[in-house]
Structure formats: structure tokens, C-alpha cells
Amino acid sequence: MKRRIQLRVLFLIGGLITLLFVVLIGRLYWVQVVKADFWLGNAEQYWAASEKLVAKRGELTDRNGDVLAMDGKSYTVAVSPEQLDKLGIVDKVSIKLAQLLGMSETSMKQIATARNPDKGNALYAQREVRPKGWKIDKELGDKIEAFKKELSDVTGSVDVGIYLMNETKRYYPKNTMAAQLLGYVDKEGKANYGLESFFDTMLRGEDGYRKYQKDGNRIQLDGGSVDYKPAHDGKNVMLTIDSEIQNYVEQAIQKAYDKYSPKSITAIAVDPNTMEILGMANLPSANPNYYWTQDAAGFYNHATRSLYEPGSTFKIVTLAGAVQEGIFNPNATYMSGSIRVADRTIRDIKRGGWGPITYLEGLKRSSNVAFVHLGYEGLGEDKLRSYITNFGFGAKTGVELPGELVGSIKFHYASEIATATFGQGVSVTPIQQVAAVSAVANGGKLMKPLIVKQVEDPVTGKIEVRKPEVVRQVISPETSRKVSEYLEQVVSDQEIGTGKNAYIEGYRVAGKTGTAQKWDNTANGGKGDWSDDKFVVSFIGFAPVGNPKILVYVVIDEPNDKYVGGGAAAAPVFKEIVQQSLRRMGIKPQLTAAEEAANKKEEAGEDKKAPTIEVPDLNGLSAITAKSKLQGNGMQFVVVGNGKNVEQQIPRAGSVVPTTQRVYLITEKRDKLTVPDLKGLSLRDAMEVSTLLGMKTVTEGEGYVVSQTMAKLKGERVLKLVLKPQSNDNSESSGSGKAPDGSTAAAGGG
């Protein structure tokens, strides 16, 4: 009986085991055969890993390659509440990081003590400090790194619970320069305003990825499948902007902005022959590096996105049409003061006028009556409208900047036609005005404004060069020449010319002032009327006449002095920009016989001492920028060394030196330098160079260095300098700028 029971138990157990095997085999069949694709897919998902390959955003540079916008290194700050608590430094870290990041201690402590509700309310292992600690600059990151080291020394722990994660963010090396042109990219990667927005797709490039299979330790499996798409970096865009001319523009309008406190001020500088934009600036401005603290108005580009009544600068269009049609006779006379058109009396700025005057005098004095005769009576509505349209008004210029407006050129009634001849009742953008007057300056060709010089694909190396584009011929070259000469007299006539404040000695300057009343919708009981105290004043001009290299337009919206006109407020801004820019371009003044005689007299020692100039501060600037600045001031220079940035300058910033003296830009450390040409330097400056080079120096004579030689004194190599008192003959200081061995010193002059 007992044996029978044992056999039954064995059969039962065997049956159960057999059943289990059958079930197991069935399950294996189900998983590995029937549902094989399903489980393989799940396994592949588990094995799969992917990495996003972020494309580098393209750079924006000026025409000389000077960087205006680039991707820069940054950090995101994170803390470990768990580690901070373990080390007992929560309060200390919260206080210090709050101070460094500019946030409240309460907010910082909340992050430093944050708990994870999904893990039993345990302290987080890591939390990012946002928004204040998100994508911070390297300078701030270095301060946090120093704080970490301090904590590490105190606690004896390598991990102090503070982490700096490598990031990139958009960086604008020149801060506020060209802010409205550039726009900015925020920390989330969104492009806002300006060229950053307009060319976002081109600059952004295309992100790539890498997908592969991994094991449980996240190590890539040998023989596993790999899917790879490389990132395609964004294209680099070289602008037509010249950073130095942009700087001249911004400095000049800042002075006017400080003086007149206008609603806004805008200036555009272009090459009228190509319509390449050399400088474009507005005030108020902003710093794109700190966009979150800036007023949006600082990024608004009035050059393309604001409409103004141009006032008398628009008379250039009427004048060009009248000259082209043979209507303008500079010597013919008319009665100034007022003229009746239909039911309206149109007056000159001077009530009563100047009596009977010539049309050329009317142009110089900016007489409205003269242009009613020329445009309304002479050209007539159809031809006037045709010239206005052909000069590009009422249509976009096509400049590659966001938000360009069209403007309004609408006139139907007699009085509207008459006032349009001198720029009242029409609305235009500054860039339209610049394109139109450039056509007058360059021989009659209306051209599309250019802001991009070339586009480079860093992946393929392909470069796309943007070429000047002629829209149409508006007037003949002969008409262009005549109109330019007439406009030159508006500036050169220092008695009656409204543009006399734009006169630059030694250069032929043409230009026209503008003063326009603004329309006030609240005036006249809400019906609207022309304002008595709100004006837009402007000046537009170009130089040199006959071979123009630069055209500048300055618009000041609502200056605080209602009596100041374009000639008083805007013309000096124009003059400062053009004078510095012409020097930068190496265009020397053409002096009159009297001026040349005075200069020769001065050189002969019969006049006052030679002119001097204050040396600007160049330390820390790139060598390219420093050279441009000196050229703009008409100063000679010598670059010593092959470095990229100015380590030291001689003479020092603020020194007052003869205009013939060279400035030495030291770009490398002492041990890498060779001795440059010191001829023309004072003994003090020559000794400063020698000391910098660690070179023992002996001198002979007094005054300024006229020669230098390498010699030996008691077996030691020394530099011997021969000096003589300065004379009026500057030939001694006009050296080539080469080092004695002809190697590392590069010279230049302006």
C-alpha cells in the first residue's frame, strides 16, 4: 500500500513537471515565434540610445571679418540638495549663489532644499538654478568655480554639490553696437529682431543625431546598428557694415541725442555707388547680451520700420526731375515769400520771403515757393508722380531687414500736389530716402540697398558673394552731375546755404536740410492739424562731389528745441560722420591754393607749431580695430608682434603727440618681440619700448630718435639710439615701420 502511494505521488509530481514543461515550451513558442516581432521591437527600444548633435549657429561679421555675433561658451548652474544637506552647507551656498546670480536668498534656498515627491519626498540629487543660473557668462562661471574650490578646501570633499554644465549661447562682442541691425537670440534659441531674425534659417543650420544600440551599462554594442546624421552648421554672414564707421555713426548721434533729447534719432551711412550700407544706427538702443533687461524700443530699427514726412530733403527729387526735364534755370528769378495754390497759400519759412531771387538762391535758402513753381507748375502732377515713383518711393527697397514699410505717396488735390514738391503730405522710410538720393549722387542709378556682402557655408566652404543690383536708371549722368553741383552750393555757401554746418574743409560736400511739422491727431478739437511744437529735422548729403564715397542721412524725431532745424541739429552730425569716414577710407582733402600756401608757410616754420593729437585708448582692442581707429584719426601706427589683440600701446592713451608721430601697438609678450623701428619717437617713448623689450639702451643726443643700431657694450648686446631736436621737417619720422631685421613690425598710416 505504501509503495502504491509513493508511485502515485511520483506520477503526480512527474505529471505536474511535464505539464509545466509543456506550458513553458508553449510560452516560449508564443514569445519567440508568435510574438517575436513585438518583443524584438521592445528590446530594440530598450537597447536604443540617441544623441542630438547641435549645429553651431553661423557668425555675423562686419566687412573686415570683425565678429559682431557669435556662439560663445556659457554655463548652466545646478546644485545637489542631497549633497549640500550631507555636507551641511545649504545656507552658505544659498547666500553666496544668490549674491553671484543676482537672485533672492529665499528663491535660491528653495532650489537648494527641493524634494522629489515621486521618490518619497527625498532630496533631489540635482536641480538646475533657473532662470538666473541658466546660460551664464564665462566670467560669472569662473567666480562660481572659485567658490566651489573654496568650499572643497573647507569641506575636504571634491563634490560640493555645485555643478557647471557646459552650454553655448549667442554672444555680441561689441555690446550695444548695431543692436537694431543684429537683433538677438534668446536663451531658448529663438531669434528676435534684426538680421538674427531675418536670416534665422540660414544662420541656425540643421541639427543632426546619432542613434545606436547599448547594453545595460549604456555602452555601445559591438556590431549593433548605428544611424548617424551629422549636424550642418549655420552659414556665416559677412555684412557690408564697417565696424569703425558704425562706431562713428553711433558716437555722433549719441552727442545729438544727449543735446536734444529727441523721441528717436536715426542715421544711415552708405556707399552711394553700390548702396552697401556702411553704418546704420538708432537711439534709443539696447544691449543684446542682456536682452531680458532691455526695453524693446532699443531693438526697433527706425531706418526701415518708421515713416516720416521728409520735409525739404525731398526737394532733391523735385530738383532732379526739373533738371532732367530742362525746367530748372538756376539764374531765372521768381518772387519768394508765398504762392497761392487753389484755396491755399503756401509760404516760405521766412514770412515775406527774400524778395525776387534766383532759383539757385531759392535752393540754397530752401524756399518752398521755388519748388511749387518747379514741381507743381513746371513738372505737373503726372511727371512729378512719375519721378517720385521712379526714385523708389511708394515701394519697398528690398533691403534684407525685417519689417520694411512701404510709405505713402498719395496726392490728388492741387494743394496736395504743391506741398508734395517739398516733402509735405508724403511719408517715406529713411532707407527709401537714402536709396533715392544715392541715385542722384552716383550718376542716376537707383540701386537695391545691400546689407550682406557674402555668405559662407562652413561645411562645404562655398562662398556666395552678393553683388550690387541696379533697379533702374532714374536720371541721366549729366543731370546727376548738375544736381550734385547745385546741392554742393547749399553746403559751400557759408552766407545763405542752409547746409553750411555740413561744410568740411578740403572736401566737396553736397547736401540738403529738412524740417517737417508732424501731424497731431489731437489738435484742432480732435480733428487733427499740423503741430506747432513737434518737428522732424534731418540732413542728407554725400562727398566728395564728382566721385562720392559716402552718403549719410540723419533724422532727428521731435528734438526738445522746436526752433532748431535740420541745418543746426542734423548737419553737424552728418559732418562728424563723413569727416571721420573719409579719413578712414584714406581719401585726403583737396586743399585750395590759399590753404596749401598756409600749410607750406607752417611747414617752413613761419606759422604756429605743428599740429598735435591726443592718442586714443587702444589697450585690449583687436589689432584690426585698433588700426582702424588710428586710421580714422589720421594717425600713423606700427604693429609690433603677430598677436591678435593689443597688449600695450606706446605712447600711452591720453598722450598729446605730433600728428606725424607713430603709435606702437604691442601685440605679443616680451619674449616673442623683436625691436621695431623707433625713429621719430621721443626719448621717453623710445625708452619705454626698450624697457618693454627688456633691451638695454644707450642714447646719444637729445630730442627725438633719428637712427638706431644694435651694438655691443662690454660684450653685451645693446640698442644705440641717436636723437636730435625735432625740426619742422618731418621726413625723419616717416619711416616704413619695418623692424631693423625687416621681420615682425607692420606699419600703416592714415
Catalytic residues: 312
State CA 382 to chain mean position distance. 41
Contacts for 739 with CB less than 8 Å, ≥ 6 apart: 640, 674, 675, 676, 677, 745
Residues in the chain, total: 750
Nearest to residue 302, comparing CAs of 175, 213, 429? 429
Instruction: Confirm if 93 and 84 have CB atoms less than 8 A apart.
Output: yes
DSSP secondary structure letter of residue 216: T
Nearest to residue 574, comparing CAs of 670, 497, 510, 485? 510
In the Cβ-directed half-sphere of 48, how many Cα atoms lie within 13 Å? 12
Strand partners of residue 208:
53
Nearest to residue 316, comparing CAs of 538, 117, 97? 538
How is residue 631 written as a grid cell?
586710421
Rounded CA-CA distance 265/556 in Å is: 4
The helix (run of H) or strand (run of E) holding residue 244 is helix 243-260
Rounded CA-CA distance 434/551 in Å is: 8
Burial 462-478 (b: 16+ CB within 10 A, else e): eeeebeeeebeebbeee
Instruction: Confirm if 582 and 563 have CB atoms less than 8 A apart.
Output: no
Count other C-beta atoms under 10 Å from residue 252's C-beta.
26
Task: Determine the residue type at 197.
Answer: S
Phi-psi region of 688 (alpha: psi -120 to 50; beta: other; left: phi over 0): alpha
Nearest to residue 80, comparing CAs of 97, 58, 63? 97
Sheet holding 697-701, edge to edge: 697-701, 716-724, 704-713
Count other C-beta atoms under 10 Å from residue 456's C-beta.
18
Phi, psi (deg, nearest 5) at residue 435: -60, -40
Instruction: Confirm if 530 and 326 have CB atoms less than 8 A apart.
Output: no
Q: How far apart are the first and last CA of the chain?
A: 124
Rounded CA-CA distance 424/426 in Å is: 6
* DSSP symbols for 466-500: ----EEEE-S-HHHHHHHHHHHHHHHH-TTT-TTG
How is residue 336 written as a grid cell?
519768394
Strand partners of residue 649:
665
Rounded CA-CA distance 169/193 in Å is: 17
